[in-house]
Structure 1
Amino acid sequence: MKISRLLIALAVVAAGAAYFMWHARPSAATVAAAPRAPSDPDVLRYPAGAPQLASIRAEPVQRVALPLAGPLNGRVVYNEDATARISSPINGRVVTIKAQLGDSVRAGQTLLVLDSPDLGSAESDLEKAQADANVKRLALVRAQTLYRGEALARKDLEAAQADYAAARAESRRARLRLHNLAPAGAVNADEGYPLRSPIAGVVVERQVNPGMEVRPDLPNPLFVVTDPARLWVSVDLPENLLGKVALGHPVAIEVDAYPGQRFAGHIDKIAPALDPVTRRIMLRCSVDSGAARLKAEMFARVTLLADADQLAFRIPNAALVSDGLYSYVFVEQAPGVLRKRRVTLAAQDRDYAYSVDSLRPGERIVTSGALLLNSELGVTQ
């Protein structure tokens, strides 16, 4: 009796196990979509058209100069060595404006024309001074002739010499005043006073309108002319990074207007003292704006770089997966074949990590979907 019960129990257990194994079998679709059994435990192999591949994006790894620190906040400003802030040296009323915002101008080109009584006065003063100097010169010549004929006292000769010297000085003063008002050359008060640009560049600011009364002591310049291809970037450097920078060190500059693009520059000025409030020191970087794409007053992110020969592979942080104390990326060896590789990081910032020798030029790494691949690899193992 006991043997019969035991046989019945064994039969029930065997039937249940068979039922479970039948219903737990993977479907044909599941088998086709899963990674093929890899010979290498760090490699995933997907057949063409596998649904996992739609969630994965691979890109070639880029090699860039190794950064010394994370990006710093900066601001694009005019290069003052290539910028002229132009005001009127005399009082007057604007008659004609000949340069508009955004116009390219040559050195010496007229920006506006003023109707200025001061210019007429300066020209008149010069003509009178020159005429007086000519009269005093002739008087001196006569005095010298009379003195040689002993018909004139020496003190009268000396008085004539003094009068001529004073007249020459007044003529020179009037000429210099007119030259100061019109350094670019001769002007005609009847035609108006031309305000000219001292440098070649682009008009980036204009604060004058027709009919406006101008004077030398206005708080703002009438025009600002600059070379838009030569700009500075001002950076506030934390005190603890001061030992990593030096004049001439390269920098990489990024702005929100051009995502993913870097503009090359270098440090050309380090302030002699820190700001006592912020404990930061000002750096000035020169940058080629690349066809004037950078604009003054843009906010920028400035990355301090090592020497040009110290290169590293730039890895988006989204491409990294962590396993314990180490970091890994997935390298695309062939279409559908992805290998998990350990990388050694030399630096890391908010957006990117940098590795010196863990990758090879031209290799493609997974930049989107790395976490999915890592979990899939864990399942297959």
Structure 2
Amino acid sequence: MIMRRPMLKGLLIVLAVAIVAVIAWAVWSRVRSDRARLPGTTVADRHPTSPAARPAQPAAATPRTGVTIDPRRQQLIGVRTVAAKRAEMTELVRTVGVVQYDETRVTDVNLKVEGWIRELYVDYTGQLVTRGQPLFTLYSPDLLATEHEYLLALKTRDQMQSSQIADARVRADTIVAAARQRLALWDLSADQLQALEQTRQPQAAVTFRSPAGGYVTEKQVLKGAHVTAGQSLYRIADLSVVWIEADVYESDVSLVRLGQHATVTLDAYPGERYAGRVVYIYPYVNQQTRTNKVRYEFANGRGRFKPGMYANVELSVSAGAGVTVPANAVLDSGKEQIVFVAQGDGYFEPRRVKVGRRLGADVQIVDGIKTGEQVATGATFFLDSESQLRASLQGYEAAPAPAPAAGPRQQLDITLRSQPDPPKAGENQFEATVKDSAGKPIDDAQVTVQFFMAAMPTMNMPAMRSEVKLLPVGGGVYRGTGNVMIAGRWDVTVSVARNGQRLGSKQMTVVAR
């Protein structure tokens, strides 16, 4: 029977897939065998490792090595390069503030004499008044009596003008001046005193005028009310200039200076920008929010700013010239910052850098990069995973021979359990039991559980690591809570140490659900 061509082609494909699977299995077995021969490690869950005799070394940075990516792969995974540039760095400090009255432009209207309100001309809160505008009239027995005294002093002085006694004329002038000064201290204006002198008629109800222009923000008087000396009747605020007080983060306080120009936008008037300046920096920091209050002054000729409004404040601060790269070119592991520098022919070198301030979409590089060097800005997580993987493989190839242990070698019996079992993605409870070769519990040790998942370049996923520290509870039992980042297969290492010396470890594989 003659086999058809499509069927033959299908059998050839199945055969090819089988061959690839066999080769992959053989390679994986070889890698596992190589790892099993490394000192102080095992791959099987059932084999505990022997203790290490030398002291534990301080935690080092994650090993990385250069990687070569051909142009086609760069295009597929999205690797892009940008030249580091030297630029004049301008940093923006943004914050939200509240419009407030300029305290130096708020006037309190009160009386220095007791009396009764006869007429009330400004009779509601929010009314706009001008300087010198009549506010109310007041009947005051004390004020009326002083007017009579003033008029009597004026009459006496007129009579003394023809006196031959100079002292009498001087004494009359002094009495007139004293009475006039007393009325002036009670807030009678110069025009009112002049009218009183010309008409020689006392005013039973004296008109009081506004000492300042602005809006009435408080009104505490009614027509016919009895008022006392010192009582506040009105509060008038001049809104031609306003303050905006905003909280600046403690880390940005050093950028703020008195007299700096600021720009404000208001949600009520989109698209409009207003210019002002810094007039005061409070001398203390809010301990709860870790912010420093800053006061800005803005002209308000058009009346746009209304006290109580929220305002978006922006300060443009020159930070000098420096080297900058795009922020997405920097990988921050928490312990170090890495940038991949293109050296040509598809080779990328991982380089540690010292990062300064964030400047919009760019970041300042204080040390590690020179102007003009090309840095990778796309798929940097893939480059980092590839770099760490190759560094790990190089480490396996160059692994040193096992060092002789100080003293007799011992075997540790280490078991690890989780709740739930198997562990889930998220928070889990872990319990380890540690015993020596004689089955005696080991209580005075430091036990850590390390989780590792290799990078998956095809998914653009970097390698993942986490660590859980277990605390002794007695009887060789150690417990703790830790987080498994995602579901999947994890390589787990349980390490036991005492006084800085590693006693032993155990490796296993778990599959988180």
- TM bin, normalised by shorter chain, reads 0.5 to 0.7
1:70 aligns with 2:94: yes
Is the CA contact (8 Å cut-off) linking 1:66 and 1:354 kept in structure 2?
Answer: no
- In 1, the alpha carbon distance for the partners of 2:272 and 2:90 equals 16
Q: Structure 1 residues 204 and 9 mapped into 2: Cα distance closer, same or farther (>3 Å)? A: same
| 1:183 alignment partner in structure 2 | 189
- Contact 1:108 1:184 (8 Å CA) reproduced: no
Matched with 1:86 is 109
Q: CA deviation at 1:132?
A: 3.4
CA RMSD across the alignment? 4.4
Aligned equivalent of 1:193: 206
In the alignment, residue 215 of structure 1 is paired with which amino acid?
A: T
Question: 1:207 & 1:95 partners in 2: Cα distance?
Answer: 15
Query: Shift of residue 66 of structure 1?
Result: 5.1
Partner of 1:127: 151
CA distance 1:83–1:41, shift in 2 (3 Å): farther
Paired amino acid for 1:182: L
Residue 197 of structure 1: CA displacement?
Answer: 1.5
1:287 to partner: Cα distance: 0.9
Which of 273, 277, 280 lines up with 1:269 in the alignment?
A: 280
Larger-Rg structure: 2
Alignment partner of 1:176: what SS?
Answer: helix
5 Å matches for 1:229-248?
A: 229-248=240-259
Q: The residue matched to 1:124 in structure 2 has which SS?
A: helix
The letter of the residue matching 2:184 is H
Pairing 1:298–2:309 present: yes
Q: CA deviation at 1:121?
A: 1.8
Q: Secondary structure at the match of 2:313?
A: strand
Q: Secondary structure at the match of 1:199?
A: coil
Structure 2 length-normalised TM:
0.41
TM-superposition CA deviations, 1:127-186 (whole Å, max 9, x none): 1222334455555x1x4xxxxxxxxxxxxxxxx72x554443222111012123212521
Distance of 2:315 and 2:6 partners within structure 1: 79
240 and 347 in structure 1: CA distance in 2 versus 1, 3 angstrom threshold = closer
Total equivalences in the alignment: 257
CA contact (8 A) 1:111 1:195 kept: yes
Q: 1:347 to 1:255 in 2, by over 3 A?
A: farther
Deviation string 1:91-127 (CA, Å, 9 cap, x unpaired) is 2222222224343333211122222223312211211
Task: State the match for 1:170 in structure 2.
Answer: 175
- 1:74–1:245 Cα change, 3 Å: same
User: Secondary structure in 2 aligned to 1:210?
Assistant: coil
Q: Following the alignment from structure 2 to structure 1, what is the Cα–Cα distance between the partners of residues 285 and 226?
A: 41
How many Å separate the matches in 1 of 2:6 and 2:249? 82
- Taking the TM superposition and a 5 Å limit, the aligned residue runs for 1:89-168 are 89-99=112-122, 100-135=124-159, 138-139=162-163, 141=164, 143=165, 161=167, 164-168=169-173
Letter in 1 for 2:97: G
The alpha-carbon distance between structure 1 residues 205 and 301, as it changes in their structure 2 partners (threshold 3 A), is same
CA contact (8 A) 1:179 1:185 kept: no
What amino acid is aligned across from residue 248 of structure 1 in structure 2?
G
Cα 1:283–1:115 change in 2 (3 A) is same
Deviation of the 1:195 alpha carbon: 1.9
Flag the 1:89–1:282 CA change in 2: closer, same or farther, 3 A. farther
Structure-2 separation of matches of 1:68 and 1:11: 66
- Structure showing the higher helix proportion among its residues: 1
- For residues 217 and 81 of structure 1, the distance between their equivalents in structure 2, rounded to whole angstroms, comes to 20
1:15-26 matched pairs, under 5 angstroms: none
Q: Distance in 1 between matches of 2:178 and 2:361?
A: 67
Give the number of the structure with larger relative contact order, counting CA–CA contacts within 8 Å between residues 6 or more apart.
1
Q: Structure 1 residue 258: deviation in Å?
A: 4.3
Where in structure 2 are the equivalents of 1:329-340 lying within 5 Å? none
Could you list the per-position Cα deviations for residues 327-371 of structure 1 after superposition, in whole angstroms to 9, with x for gaps in the alignment?
A: xxxxxxxxxxxxxxxxxx9856xxxx4679xxxxxxxxxxxxxxx
Query: Are 2:144 and 2:204, in contact at CA under 8 Å, matched by a contact in 1?
Result: no
Q: Does 1:223 align with 2:222?
A: no
Preserved CA contact (<8 Å) 1:133 1:164? yes
Question: Residue 86 of structure 1 contacts residue 222 of structure 1 at CA under 8 Å; is this kept in 2?
Answer: yes
The structure-2 alpha-carbon separation of the partners of 1:324 and 1:242, relative to structure 1 and needing over 3 Å to count, comes to closer
Name the CA distance, whole Å, in 2 between partners of 1:242 and 1:295: 27
Q: 2: distance between equivalents of 1:79 and 1:206?
A: 19
Per the TM alignment, residue 89 of structure 1 is displaced from its structure 2 partner at its CA by 3.2
Inter-CA distance 324–275: structure 2 relative to 1 (3 Å threshold): closer
Q: Is the 8 A contact 2:280 2:294 kept in 1?
A: yes
Secondary structure of 1:76 counterpart: strand
Aligned to 2:60: none
**Distance 1:196-1:208 versus aligned 2 partners, 3 A rule:** same
Name the CA distance, whole Å, in 2 between partners of 1:296 and 1:74.
11
Correspondence for 2:260: 249
Q: For 2:203, what is the secondary structure of its paired residue?
A: helix
Higher strand proportion (structure 1 or 2): 2
Are 2:8 and 1:10 aligned? yes
Is 2:242–2:298's contact at 8 Å kept on the other side of the alignment? yes
Contact 1:184 1:196 survives alignment (8 Å): no
